[in-house]
């Protein structure tokens, strides 16, 4: 059995990336994710890897693009305003079908906002902040253990589907220290015959998204991408249903806000109120079917977010009788409160 | 005609794809592409080479080069080159960029790739204008030059003076080779080939960052015939952008 160790969320994520075989990291400092580059700069040279502090987030995501095009497992991390700067690169990465892992340890926005944890980038993450018809996988860890476990999963999913996988955490999750068991390598191996390694004994490879003749090729590419996205939607939805089987009141949340909801559910259950929690593990693809099952008996569905209402749109699109869906959120780095969640649930019963 | 005694002395480089380019008559890109392909063949690195295509007229360069190619978003070719080179240091990575790409939208990447001394080779095509988008002002557009966005001529008091790339990068410690050349006549074209060869050779030998600026032509957007465009490079650009080697360590 592996020992439990104490680590910060950001550092657990960094170590998990190394366990996953990531040997290239490019990034630019921004709070509250600075432990990730600091950790990678310490660890990567010791395992034969490359850490490079880029001149900007734009440069960092394009270094990721280049390293991925060369066939490497590669990661970058940032926080909300920095992730905004990476959107152009993410669109190119989608168009060129390059695998990579991008970490967003969200902080309050819009603009420079503040440095406290937030969930204000749900739209940006799930709708695509860059241009064009594309999607990216979005994983939403809620514990330090999951920061590590989902990082391993992220690298495998990225390689399997040749897609950017976004790990969507928040400043609280990045900074919190918790015990975890470091995951073991999954051992999955992915061939990359498309990688740019020099045209020795083969035809030249090209990594590009440009398709200049619209009727014959760009739509063709988009349809190919769309098939891939459909496959991911069918196969890769992940979620956790906690005490939902008989739940009359269902909380829906992800990440840090789901931990607050879990506490509220436990306390409500102690008072005999049938509350349950549906927690996203993938925000895209959105686990709509699982949510339908979890919400089958719910009189009310309370969506709880550290934003003023973004995930709620997916919740409403997914459940039957969406008029059941209500919202409670705090924004600008503030946290939803257990007591307020309980108060609202109890009010539904009156 | 009797040909059996003819000696085969000249052929299309293996590194150049046999196809018609989309470049305008008199454009310098085709010439520089061929020089690069010849150098790649002469140094025997076609199977190791990766060309980074910029955004601009040479966006399709990977369709003309018979080796691996990679697209980059506007201005980010040096960052993409860095990622590729750091993963596979044995590859020969060439960042081919235009003037808007390298000295406007991608200035930060251009400066920092040189400052890190990345072991890559940059070929910088300076034709004093944005070609692909229809002839707008470039950071290297000459004073008083008329473009689609400087209809009254470039006014340095309003939009600044043309930027000299070689001189800018020559303030940095790391680059090992910086040279400005041109393809406006045959003699200078041969010098350009020599500089490109030196730049690629430096990379093969692991010496560090090489930067070759080529003063080139854009007859279409300059509104000139090809020969007039070549003359304009010589008479208007060269006095402001002096040709020659700035560094050869």
B90's CB contacts (< 8 A; 6+ apart) are: A198, B48
Query: B18 lies in a domain?
Result: no
Mean pLDDT of chain A: 96
Fold of A240-349: Rossmann fold (3.40.50)
Neighbour tally for B105: CB within 10 Å: 18
Q: Contact, A103 vs A33, CB < 8 A? A: yes
pLDDT in tens, A60-104: 999 999 999 999 999 999 999 999 999 999 999 999 999 999 999
Query: B17 lies in a domain?
Result: no
The band of A2, judged by pLDDT with boundaries at 50, 70 and 90, is confident
Query: B23 lies in a domain?
Result: no
Q: Which CATH number is B73's domain given?
A: 3.40.50.970
Q: Contact, B79 vs B106, CB < 8 A? A: no
DSSP H helices in A186-308? 219-235, 255-270, 288-294
Asked if B81 and A66 come within 8 Å (Cβ–Cβ), the reply is yes
Query: What confidence score (pLDDT) does residue B51 get?
Result: 98
The full set of domain ranges for chain A reads 4-194+223-235, 240-349
Query: What confidence score (pLDDT) does residue B3 get?
Result: 76
CA distance A251 to chain B (A): 42
CA distance B134 to chain A (A): 17
Residues of chain A with a CB closer than 8 angstroms to some CB in chain B? 24, 26, 50, 52, 54-56, 58-60, 62-72, 74, 88-89, 92, 96, 196-201, 204-210, 212
Distance CA B47, CA A313 (A): 51
Average pLDDT over residues A4-26: 98
- Residue A1, pLDDT > 60, answer no
The ipTM estimated for the assembled molecules is 0.96
Domain that holds residue B104: 29-248
Q: Contact, B139 vs B99, CB < 8 A? A: yes
Distance CA B213, CA B126 (A): 7
Specify the CATH number for A4-194+223-235; select among 2.60.40.10, 3.40.50.10470, 3.40.50.970, 3.40.50.1110. Answer: 3.40.50.970
- Residue A211, pLDDT > 90, answer no
Query: What confidence score (pLDDT) does residue A212 get?
Result: 82
Distance CA A323, CA A313 (A): 12
- Residue A57, pLDDT > 60, answer yes
Distance CA B43, CA B198 (A): 10
Query: What confidence score (pLDDT) does residue A168 get?
Result: 98
Q: pLDDT in tens for each of the 249 residues of chain B?
A: 677 888 888 889 999 999 999 999 999 999 999 999 999 999 999 999 999 999 999 999 999 999 999 999 999 999 999 999 999 999 999 999 999 999 999 999 999 999 999 999 999 999 999 999 999 999 999 999 999 999 999 999 999 999 999 999 999 999 999 999 999 999 999 999 999 999 999 999 999 999 999 999 999 999 999 999 999 999 999 999 999 999 999
Query: What confidence score (pLDDT) does residue A214 get?
Result: 67
- Residue A215, pLDDT > 80, answer no
Chain A residues with CB-CB distance to B79 below 8 A: 54, 58-60, 62-63, 65-66
- C-alpha distances (whole Å) from B144 to each of B129, B154, B233 are 13, 4, 15
Burial of A126 (0-12, 13-18, 19+ CB in 10 A): buried
Residues of chain B with a CB closer than 8 angstroms to some CB in chain A? 46-50, 53, 59-60, 62-63, 65-73, 76, 78-88, 90-92, 108-109, 111-112
The band of A184, judged by pLDDT with boundaries at 50, 70 and 90, is very high
Give chain B's domain count.
1
Domain A240-349 in the same topology as domain A4-194+223-235: yes
């Amino acid at each position: 059995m592996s020992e439990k160790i104490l680590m910060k969320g950001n550092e657990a994520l960094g170590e998990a990336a190394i366990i996953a075989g990531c040997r290239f990291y490019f990034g630019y400092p921004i709070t509250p994710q600075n432990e990730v580059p600091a950790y990678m700069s310490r660890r990567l040279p010791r395992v034969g890897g490359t850490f490079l502090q880029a001149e900007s987030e734009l440069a960092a995501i394009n270094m990721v693009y280049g390293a991925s095009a060369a066939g490497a497992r590669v990661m970058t991390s940032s926080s909300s305003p920095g992730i905004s700067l990476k959107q152009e690169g993410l669109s190119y990465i989608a168009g060129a079908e390059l695998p990579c892992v991008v970490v967003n340890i969200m902080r309050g926005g819009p603009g420079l906002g503040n440095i406290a944890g937030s969930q204000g980038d749900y739209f940006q993450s799930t709708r695509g902040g860059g241009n064009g018809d594309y999607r990216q996988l979005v994983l939403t860890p809620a514990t330090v253990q999951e920061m590590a476990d989902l990082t391993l999963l992220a690298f495998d999913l990225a390689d399997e589907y040749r897609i950017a996988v976004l790990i969507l955490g928040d400043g609280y999750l990045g900074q919190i220290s918790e015990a975890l068991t470091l995951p073991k390598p999954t051992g999955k191996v992915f061939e990359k015959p498309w990688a740019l390694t020099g045209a020795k004994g083969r035809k030249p490879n090209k990594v590009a998204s440009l398709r200049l003749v619209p009727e014959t090729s760009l739509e063709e590419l988009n349809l190919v991408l769309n098939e891939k996205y459909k496959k991911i939607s069918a196969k890769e939805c992940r979620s956790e249903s906690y005490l939902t089987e008989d739940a009359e009141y269902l909380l829906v949340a992800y990440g840090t806000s789901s931990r607050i909801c879990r506490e509220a559910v436990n306390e409500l259950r102690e008072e005999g109120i049938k509350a349950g929690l549906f927690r996203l593990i993938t925000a895209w693809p959105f686990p709509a079917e699982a949510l339908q099952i979890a919400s089958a008996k719910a009189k009310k569905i309370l969506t709880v977010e550290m934003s003023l209402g973004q995930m709620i749109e997916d919740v409403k699109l997914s459940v039957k009788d969406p008029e059941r869906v209500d919202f409670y959120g705090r924004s600008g780095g503030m946290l939803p409160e257990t007591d307020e969640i309980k108060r609202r649930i109890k009010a539904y019963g009156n | 005609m009797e040909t059996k005694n003819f000696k085969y002395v000249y052929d299309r480089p293996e590194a150049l794809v046999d196809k018609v380019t989309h470049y305008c008559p008199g454009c310098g890109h085709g010439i520089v592409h061929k020089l690069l392909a010849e150098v790649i063949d002469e140094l025997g690195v076609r199977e190791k080479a990766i060309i980074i295509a910029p955004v601009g007229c040479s966006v399709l360069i990977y369709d003309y080069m018979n080796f691996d190619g990679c697209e980059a978003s506007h201005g980010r070719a040096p960052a993409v080159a860095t990622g590729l080179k750091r993963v596979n240091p044995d590859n020969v990575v060439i960042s081919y960029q235009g003037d808007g790409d390298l000295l406007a939208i991608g200035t930060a990447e251009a400066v920092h790739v040189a400052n890190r001394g990345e072991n890559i080779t940059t070929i910088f095509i300076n034709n004093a204008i944005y070609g692909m988008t229809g002839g707008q002002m470039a950071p290297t557009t000459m004073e008083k030059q008329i473009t689609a966005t400087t209809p009254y001529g470039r006014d340095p008091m309003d939009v600044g003076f043309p930027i000299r790339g070689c001189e800018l990068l020559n303030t940095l410690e790391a680059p090992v080779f910086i040279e400005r050349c041109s393809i406006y006549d045959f003699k200078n074209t041969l010098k350009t080939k020599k500089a490109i060869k030196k730049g690629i050779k430096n990379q093969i030998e692991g010496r560090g960052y090489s930067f070759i600026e080529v003063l080139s032509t854009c007859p279409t957007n300059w509104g000139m015939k090809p020969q007039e465009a070549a003359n304009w490079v010589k008479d208007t650009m060269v006095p402001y952008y002096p040709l020659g080697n700035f560094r050869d360590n």
